A and B are shown apart, each in its own frame.
Chain A
Amino acid sequence: MNTLFLSLSFILAGGLVALLLSRYFTLMKLAAIVTISAGCLIGLSSSLFRLFGSSTAATASWDWMHIFILSFKLDSVSAFFLIPIFVVSPLAVLYSFHYMNNKEKSLRTAVNYFFFAILVASMVLVVLAANIITFALAWEIMSLSSYFLVVYDYQVKANRRAGYLYFIFAQGGAMFLFAAFALIYSYTASFDFVGLAAMPDSVKLIVFLLILTCCGSKAGVMPLHIWLPYAHPAAPSHVSAIMSGVMIKVGIYGIVRFYLLLAPTSVLFGQIIIALGIISGILGVVYAIGKHDIKRLLAYHSVENIGIIMMGLGVGMLGMATGNKTMAAFGFAGGLLHVFNHSLFKSLLFLGAGALIQQTGTAMIDQLGGLMKKMPLTGRSFLVGSISISGLPPFNGFISEFLIYYGAFHGLTPYGVSFFPSALVIISLALIGGLAAACFSKVVGIVFLGEPRNDSYARASEAGMLMVLPQLVLAAACLVIGIWPHYFVQASFQAIPLVADFETTQFMPLMTNIARTAALFLFLFIIIEALRRFLYRGKEITRSGTWGCGFTQPTVRMQYTGTSYADTMTDFFRPFVRIHKKYSGIDKIFPGQTTYSSHVQDIFEIGLNSLVVQPVLYVIGKLRWIQHGNIQLYIGYIIVTIIVLLLFF
């Protein structure tokens, strides 16, 4: 535990150092990066030691303002969720060295490092929190510090709007958290996380739903995901990587933690989580396919992956409730491993997106093309990230999806309540897998392959070395987990105490088999590639233009665009996806300028706007007369309130 606090002080010191040295741009960045990374590495070693070494939970606590006690506890669940925080944060902060390269914004960059450090520290504290006060406090610090990171470019109006939206969702979610804590306190009469399991079942369900609303809005569970696609494009890319890769997982942590504390026996919990997971998973990827902005697309993919994680956890919860231990163990392990995997490949993809936006100056997929030749390393690691996020072997995304599949198949018991949810999970996972592969073949194919679609970024080249390095590390990690999954799978099985006594013999041979299949694939791949080289040896290889099917005047503007690639797929899901198309049409023999634009809308956003925001605005508009700007009357309000309170309470 002490090493963890040491790591936290390092991280916070890194933030402070950045503020102090804000006049010396490069030195400031270096100092902040080194200190924060050092803190993260200390924390990583400590949490790894906890996960694989000792089995007792470490605790610590101290008084705060003489009223409240802040208490912390490091158990296996916390240790598991600490790992992505400590792995991704140093890589993201390393990336920022070449990414934050505007010397004129030196002070702002320093402030960015400061809040970055606070965000990392507060995420660690949320995961370690062992009572209500600590959890709420750390949660709020996390929300606020990430808000300041999102509005880094506050001069742009869209970014301020995005920040505002995020702020509303974070604080609205926190309200539900406080409601849940009030309810818990009224039953247990203690700030500590004890006695939650003894509450009546109906109260448990209400508490869980309140927590789910709060943590779900942080994690980006549909329909509370609306802030994600706005906040991510607004934030700097290394901040997006942290927020999407790690911070939304803290929301998942909240759900897991309170599920374990409540220890419910009803199947309803698992069913709710599975239903939300399926909605988020399928619609997340469908909306992602239709998006034109690469960071917005990635944000919707976070929603999709949160859906997959929720499906895994839901399968686990359903397994616990029905006493199906295999199903429970594989469901939880798959969900948790996907938490870790997603933190790797999603931050990899956001870092890649940041690099290409910096080099080309645009985030619009349909404007880009042919970047693989200009940015070979970024392109290759982005390719790895894309395969991983599509859940294809031999990369890490497949391993966690496999575990979830495996758990769900074992839930297909005759006459069980788990049959239908499990079948739905399997079919949804298959659909999501296919659509995610379609979506990422679109991103890689349109952005990195083919020809550049305009010449505004003709001089784009590989990003700075320190921007490429973290991507390479993350890409390597994705492959390593895919080929040697044993330790990672074991860690995720050990993380959940409910299934920690699950025999390793039940999943280790399976992992060995998967690893062998992956190895067989790579072996055959190398053999065939060698054979191919052999066949081409000494032969004439010519280069010429692409075969235009008889058309002799091709231009780069003729290439298939991401929009047309996605059109049939988004069209298929139409009741859930609103597509706005504008087409000027061709009406003359010699057509003039024609324009076409399409825009895919999120029905939850439309629904939230018309069902919640507009009515609330209407009611509040009617009450506007209260706020008239007359200060004497305001003082009058206060006096009246005090008198009423004194008289009646």
Chain B
Amino acid sequence: MESILSFCFAVMITPLLPTVIQKVKAYIGGRQGPPLLIRYYTMIKLFRKGSVYSTSTSFVFKLGPVVGFVTSLMLLFFFPMAGIEPIFSFHGDVLILFYLMGLGRFFTILAALDTASPFEGMGAAREAFFATLAEVTIFGILILFYRLTGSLSFNEFFSGNHVINLMGEYGALLILVVVALYIVMLTENSRVPVDDPATHLELTMIHEVMILDHSGPDLALIEMGAWFKLLFYSAFLSMLINPFHADNVLLNGLIFYAVVTFIYITIGVVESVTARYKMNVVAKFILMPFILVFFVIILTMGVIQ
């Protein structure tokens, strides 16, 4: 019951959180920013609309948003938000979830190529390449987590005797992992400095340019999928850095979502103070967390017994 409530709450709150980033950026830029509930309004607006489909497209174009949305939603079914046991969990679920994310990306890329637009093809090529590099880092992190907990499940990473936490055992190793995961989060969710969702030139975009031709409910599904994914990554990070643990479920949840919001705020700050990297630097930037994680893996050979 708790699991289902936690899941529903996470789904309900996702549209709110990205607005935090926008608010922070507006504040630093000396502007007021949009109302907090703007994403909900946008959703309602998009769901009411119809769509324009390009004559070049086939059924794959319409499949893209649905598959992308479902794969992102699946993450929330398996992730223990605030340490509350998720709805589903088994030894090995992390593998299938990261591969499901790959499936979502595969269809987003196909939908982009289906439009026959050179811009979208360009975005698709970048997304395919950068995501591959980020995925390698993720599996490096999984190697470390397996060493720490002997498990391959999100739930078991954050429950039981060996909770993975910055304050817990081997927390020093996790500092590097947190940095790595943060960069992976920026990459996978198309944030600055890898990708700039707010840029005015399609040539320089990655994710945003791939969905140029989507409209109406299709676009709404894509947007929501993206928010789920961002929530998943920031929840993952929060579980690592959250130092508090209360016995009360409600209080625990409150602290957890406060830490999640903090991460969204840091994203907003990062976006305000940095610019997007040039494309040829991006690959190096994404490889950096892999180097960190690989270093951690080598360290574990000596530290963990």
Contact = CB atoms under 8 A, between A and B. Distances in A.
Interface of A: 369-370, 372-373, 379, 383, 387, 390-393, 398, 402, 405-406, 409, 412, 414-415, 419-420, 423, 426-427, 429-431, 433-435, 437-438, 440-442, 444-446, 449-451, 509-510, 513-514, 516-517, 520-521, 524-525, 528-529, 532, 535-536, 539-549, 554, 556, 558-560, 564-569, 572
B69 interface: yes
B124 A560 contact: yes
Interface SS of chain B: helix, strand, loop or mixed? helix
A52 B132 CA distance: 39
Interface string B111-139: 01111111111101110110111011011
Interface string B46-73: 0101111111111110100111011101
Nearest to A527: B70
B40 interface: no
Contacts of B95: 402, 405-406
A546 B57 CA distance: 9
Given A398-B99, A414-B304, A423-B143, A536 B116 contact: no
A568 B92 contact: no
Contact of B283 (A429, A547, A558, A568): A568
Given A409-B143, A559-B121, 16 more contacts: A402-B95, A426-B142, A430-B135, A433-B102, A434-B128, A445-B109, A446-B113, A450-B113, A524-B70, A528-B221, A536-B217, A541-B50, A542-B53, A546-B117, A547-B117, A547-B213
B71 A549 contact: no
B73 A434 contact: no
B116 A546 contact: yes
B212 A549 contact: yes
B70 A451 contact: no
B117 A548 contact: yes
Given A392-B102, A434-B131, A569-B129, A532 B118 contact: no
Contacts of A445: 109-110, 112-114, 121, 124
Nearest to A408: B143
Contacts of A419: 301
A441 B109 contact: yes
Q: 4 tightest A-B contacts by CB?
A: A560-B121, A434-B132, A445-B113, A438-B128
A517 B147 CA distance: 25
Nearest to B49: A539
Contact of B53 (A510, A541, A554, A558): A541
B152 interface: yes
B132 A431 contact: yes
B212 A438 contact: no
Contacts of B139: 426-427, 429-430
20 contacts: A370-B56, A373-B58, A409-B146, A412-B147, A415-B305, A427-B143, A427-B294, A434-B102, A437-B105, A442-B128, A445-B121, A450-B115, A535-B47, A536-B217, A542-B52, A544-B52, A546-B57, A549-B117, A568-B125, A568-B126
A398 B60 contact: no
A565 B125 contact: yes
B141 to A, nearest CB: 11
Contacts of B86: none
Contacts of B138: 430
Contacts of A558: 118
B288 interface: no
Contacts of B62: 532
Given A393-B103, A405-B95, A427-B140, A441 B113 contact: yes
Interface of B: 47, 49-60, 62, 65-67, 69-71, 73-74, 77, 88, 90-93, 95-96, 99-100, 102-103, 105-106, 109-110, 112-122, 124-126, 128-129, 131-133, 135-136, 138-140, 142-143, 146-147, 152, 202, 212-213, 216-218, 221, 279, 283, 294, 297, 301, 304-305
Nearest to A559: B116
A568 B52 CA distance: 32
B194 to A, nearest CB: 14
A412 B300 CA distance: 11
A260 to B, nearest CB: 28
Contact of B74 (A442, A521, A532, A554): A521
Nearest to B121: A560
Contacts of A372: 58-60
Contacts of B74: 517, 520-521, 524
B78 to A, nearest CB: 8
A449 B110 contact: yes
A441 B67 contact: no
Given A438-B128, A525-B70, A542-B53, A393 B305 contact: no
A548 B118 CA distance: 8
Contacts of B212: 547, 549
Contacts of A390: 102, 106
A594 B119 CA distance: 22
A521 B128 contact: no
Contact of B55 (A433, A516, A545, A564): A545
A560 B96 contact: no
Contacts of B115: 450, 546
Contact of A543 (B49, B55, B133): B55
Contact of B110 (A402, A409, A444, A520): A444
A414 B52 CA distance: 57
A482 to B, nearest CB: 11
Contacts of B54: 543-547
A379 B59 CA distance: 11
Nearest to B147: A412
A405 B139 CA distance: 10
Nearest to B46: A535
A529 B66 contact: yes
A542 B50 contact: yes
A489 to B, nearest CB: 13
B66 A393 contact: no
Contact of A565 (B49, B124, B152): B124
Given A450-B116, A528-B70, A546 B213 contact: yes
Contacts of B67: 525
Contacts of A450: 56, 113-116
A641 B195 CA distance: 75
A369 B116 contact: yes
Contacts of B58: 372-373, 379, 449
Contacts of A383: 60, 110
B71 A521 contact: yes
A315 to B, nearest CB: 14
B66 A532 contact: yes
Nearest to B65: A532
Contacts of A559: 116-118, 121
A57 to B, nearest CB: 34
Contacts of B279: 568
A645 B102 CA distance: 67
A406 B152 CA distance: 9
Given A441-B109, A445-B114, A525-B66, A564 B121 contact: yes
B128 A528 contact: no
B136 A513 contact: no
B56 A451 contact: yes
B105 A532 contact: no
A372 B110 CA distance: 12
B88 A449 contact: no
B132 A532 contact: no
A513 B96 CA distance: 10
User: Which of B53, B96, B119 has the most C-beta atoms of chain A within 10 angstroms of its own C-beta?
Assistant: B96
Contact of B88 (A427, A430, A520): A520
Contacts of B112: 445
Contacts of A373: 58
A420 B301 CA distance: 9
A434 B139 CA distance: 11
A543 B129 contact: no
Nearest to B101: A392
Contacts of A434: 102, 128, 131-133, 135-136
